[in-house]
Each structure stands twice: as structure tokens, then as C-alpha cells.
Structure 1
């Protein structure tokens, strides 16, 4: 059985959008049409390409291999469309962006959206481990992440660098300090991003090296959630400096044992760099 382009395109969109219904909306076709295309592709491959998990689409091993081909096909199709349009001004399109560093990502997106208001930008925040997996499996266009893995087939550009600091409400006893040590932090209720995050890994390693453990740990999904929890008096938190817009009720304190700075970078699979949408976003970092 021969595979046709519609089957590749449907499969790629199901993976990127996370569901058949979302893929159908994006493609402007019925759910049954998407289901049939994917089913025919699976018949041609001779294996299931994905299963529906609790959190959405989960690719099988065959699915991972064929998604790379399908995504390359969709990218090539976009490049052909751009050439046929004669490189006219960007007036439509979609960028799928992920980040584990919300503040740098939001600054870039705000600048980009002001210049290209008709381009749809889909931003989702993930922990570091998930972000790396999504890049590895080519399920995103652009990632804005701290300390990304270096790979030959990824384009990488530094946006900023920052160290990890303690965030505390301005009326917290530690807020009057110029700097804090991990032993003082460990005695408090501490908010950290979830276990797959770079922050969690770095803080846990530093505590272990010094024979310390947190008295009480509260895990959060993202910095905005952490910030709100701190302002509500839940505890203190550790995250990259300058992660929040200036807030009178929130202070940032250096942590003595965490002096290192970490680069936050824009990362793009190299085969997507010729797309005008990608190029226009990368240009925002100049």
C-alpha cells in the first residue's frame, strides 16, 4: 500500500496538536478524515504509531521513527509554499514554542507578536526534561530553555544567563538578608519546580553535597504558580533570577552555594531554520 502526503500530514498534526480533534481543527477537515488517514498509514507501516495515554498521544517506537519523516515532510511543504508565495510579508502561520524559562520566552513572544500580529504563537511551559524530550522527538518548532543539551542537529543561540536565587515575600524574615545559605533555606518550607526540572536537579545536588535535606518541600508546575504561592505565604522558592516582573512584595536573594550562572537559549531543529516563520522569530534575538 502506497503512502500519500495527506496521511503523513494528518499523522504529523495529530502528534503536534496532541489529539485527533485538535489536528482536524488545525487542518480544517473532519475527525473521521484524520482518523482514516492515520489508520491507512498504520496499515502501510504494519504497526501502531501511537496510543492514547492519560496525558494525550504517546508515540510507539515506530511512531517516533515515522513522526520524524512526517514532520520533515510538513516542514518541506511549508518551505515550498513560502517560495511559491514569493516571500511576501508574513501575514499568517503558526509557531509551536515551548519553554522552561517563562520570562525570556514571554519577552521574545511579546516583541514578535507586536511585529507579526497575524502569526499564531502557541506557548506551553514544561519542565527541563520534558522540554528536551519534545525537542528530541521534533514535536516543537522552537524551545527556549535553560542549559539545553548540545546536539549537532540543533541550532542554539544564547538569550541570557542567570543564577539561581531565593524568592521570598518581602515580609519574610530572610528577606532582610543580603544573601542566604542552603542551611537556612533547608529549615523553611521550600517551593521547587517538579522533579524533571533543571532547578530541582541543581538544588537537590547542592543539598546532597552538603548533607542537607529540606524540612518540607512543595512542588510547583511553573514559576508563575511558585510566585503566587510565595505571595500567598506558602513558603519560599528557588528559581532563576529575573524570572518575574518587578514586584514590591517579592525579593530575590543570592544563595551562597549556588553562584554559577546558566545560559537560557533559543533552540531550533536545524532542518527548520530555512522556514521564514522560524527565521523571523530567531531574528528577535539579534
Structure 2
């Protein structure tokens, strides 16, 4: 048997006001309507909730017991309303961000925290494939990732364009050059990222257009490991130029003749785009990109 909350609210208002007249005014209904709602509640359960005394009413023992319950219920309703109102006005809530390169998303994270201090922010990092998978699994709300594959379930907007470059140790013979050719790369050990890295995918797809073969490959599982390996002289690496930290131990070199463009984009589920906190993060990401370019 379901509870009619309209009847229960009428009861609660009468208990609060101590009269049907005051309760009707508080709920903006007529007194006969309110009286009928309370009587309907009493008839449904075969109980008496009020002792009618002239123009006033007094709660019965059962009425006192129900009043304690109805107050808890409507207090929780008010709390739920406030929770949703605060989230809708970005005074509270949670934005889950994900990225394949922390350097790309930190300005957004900092600006969001400053503009919406009441909203918590959680950040997940990984390679491009893992972050895209997390987005599709609804484990994050908004992602900043490179070279997003077309997907009708997602909406995307470009933020910046860069390129993949080679990096060599500062004392490597190639470090004195202005750029490096595919033939020169093929003659060296190449330090690459793991499967799932967008940087690695961009380089691999471009390399397949050449006639050269890479015979000596050293694979690592993070950009930090790749950078450390190159600095130690273990080979030549390929990285997104924006993700290369300032380090005198390594030198960056453009790679001749390959299309190695990196397009960093903000991405979210199409059906979550109108959620207030997601839209706020999206718009701020575009605002920062426009300001920085």
C-alpha cells in the first residue's frame, strides 16, 4: 500500500499550524480541500490523528508519532531540494576529469577550482585509450585527450594543435642537428610508449607511410620513463612537444616528412553535455584555450 504524500503533507501542515485555517494558508489551498485530504488519510487507515477542538486541533498519541515521522520525511525532502539546487547552481557537486597528459588539464583544473570553489574535482590520468575507455564507462565526466576517434556518442571540441617530435640526449651526435629524418631514426634505437598511448599511435601511423623499418625498439610504460631513458642515452624517444619538460639533458628535434599533428580536445558524453557541472567544465576549457591562443 502506497502513501499519498499530498495527504501526509496536509496532515503535517495542520500539525505545524495547530489549525486547518493556518495550514490551508501555508499550503495555498482552500480549507475544505485541506480538511478533506486529512480526513482521507484518516479514513484510509481507519485512525484518528487529531482531536478537533473548536477552531483548533490537538494531535492524538498516534498523531504525535506520525508527526515525528513526517517531519523527518519532509526535512529530508528539503535537504534533497537544497542539494540539487546547490549542484545546479554549482555551489556543490563533483566534476570527474580525465586526461592523457596532466600538463594539458592543470590550467583547467586550477581555473575551475577558483571559479567554483564549492565543487569537488577528481582527476584521473592514463594513456589516451584508458581515458577514453573510462569516459565511455561513465567513470569520468569530461576528458582532455589527443586525436579523438569519431564516435556519435561523444561530443568533442579542439583545444590546441601541436606535434610529435623526437628527443635525444644532449650529447647524442644528432643533438647538433635542426631536425631528424626517418632514415636517421631507423638507424637508432627508438624508445616508445606502451600500446594505448596516443603519441605512440600517431607516430606508428605516420611511420607506416615510410619505407623504413625500426629494428631496435625499447618500450616503456610512461612518458616519465621515456624521458628518463632518453636522458640516460638509451635511445631516441618520440613525445608530444608540449609534454616535454625543460631539461638540459635532452634536445628536441622535429621529424622531417611525417604528419605528426596532435590535436588535443575536450570530450564528453553527448547525453551528459547539458548537465550543469559538465557544461561548466567544457565552457571553461574552451575559454582557457581561446585565451592561451
**Where in structure 2 are the equivalents of 1:29-178 lying within 5 Å?**
83-85=84-86, 87-90=88-91, 92-116=92-116, 119-178=119-178
For the structure 1 residues 130 and 87, does the alpha-carbon distance in structure 2 shift closer, same or farther, using more than 3 Å as the test? closer
Gaps of 5+ in 1: 1-78
- 1:128 is displaced (CA, Å) by 2.7
Contact 1:192/1:237 (CA < 8 Å) preserved in 2? Answer: yes
Give, in whole Å, the separation in 2 of the partners of 1:111 and 1:231.
Answer: 33
- 1:193 is displaced (CA, Å) by 1.3
Give, in whole Å, the separation in 2 of the partners of 1:85 and 1:111.
Answer: 20
Contact 2:167/2:236 (CA < 8 Å) preserved in 1? Answer: yes
Task: Report the equivalent of 1:209.
Answer: 209
Give, in whole Å, the separation in 1 of the partners of 2:87 and 2:96.
Answer: 24
Q: Secondary structure at the match of 1:247?
A: coil
**Where in structure 2 are the equivalents of 1:22-33 lying within 5 Å?**
none
Contact 2:186/2:215 (CA < 8 Å) preserved in 1? Answer: yes
For the structure 1 residues 274 and 204, does the alpha-carbon distance in structure 2 shift closer, same or farther, using more than 3 Å as the test? closer
Q: Secondary structure at the match of 1:85?
A: helix
How does the TM-score come out when normalised to structure 1? Answer: 0.63
1:2-44, Cα deviation, whole Å (9 max, x unpaired): xxxxxxxxxxxxxxxxxxxxxxxxxxxxxxxxxxxxxxxxxxx
For the structure 1 residues 217 and 93, does the alpha-carbon distance in structure 2 shift closer, same or farther, using more than 3 Å as the test? farther
How does the TM-score come out when normalised to structure 2? Answer: 0.61
- 1:106 is displaced (CA, Å) by 2.7
Give, in whole Å, the separation in 2 of the partners of 1:205 and 1:235.
Answer: 20
Give, in whole Å, the separation in 1 of the partners of 2:113 and 2:87.
Answer: 22
Give, in whole Å, the separation in 2 of the partners of 1:169 and 1:255.
Answer: 16
The answer to whether 1:282 aligns with 2:282 is yes
Give, in whole Å, the separation in 2 of the partners of 1:117 and 1:167.
Answer: 39
Contact 2:203/2:260 (CA < 8 Å) preserved in 1? Answer: no
Task: Report the equivalent of 2:74.
Answer: none
Root-mean-square deviation (Å): 2.7
Give, in whole Å, the separation in 2 of the partners of 1:192 and 1:163.
Answer: 16
Q: Secondary structure at the match of 1:230?
A: helix
For the structure 1 residues 87 and 265, does the alpha-carbon distance in structure 2 shift closer, same or farther, using more than 3 Å as the test? same
Gaps of 5+ in 2: 1-79, 288-293
Contact 2:186/2:213 (CA < 8 Å) preserved in 1? Answer: yes
Contact 2:94/2:121 (CA < 8 Å) preserved in 1? Answer: yes
Task: Report the equivalent of 1:60.
Answer: none
Give, in whole Å, the separation in 2 of the partners of 1:180 and 1:237.
Answer: 12
- 1:81 is displaced (CA, Å) by 6.5
Task: Report the equivalent of 2:254.
Answer: 254
**Where in structure 2 are the equivalents of 1:199-278 lying within 5 Å?**
199-278=199-278
1:180-223, Cα deviation, whole Å (9 max, x unpaired): 01221122222211122233233333334333222322222232
Contact 2:88/2:277 (CA < 8 Å) preserved in 1? Answer: no
Q: Secondary structure at the match of 1:104?
A: helix
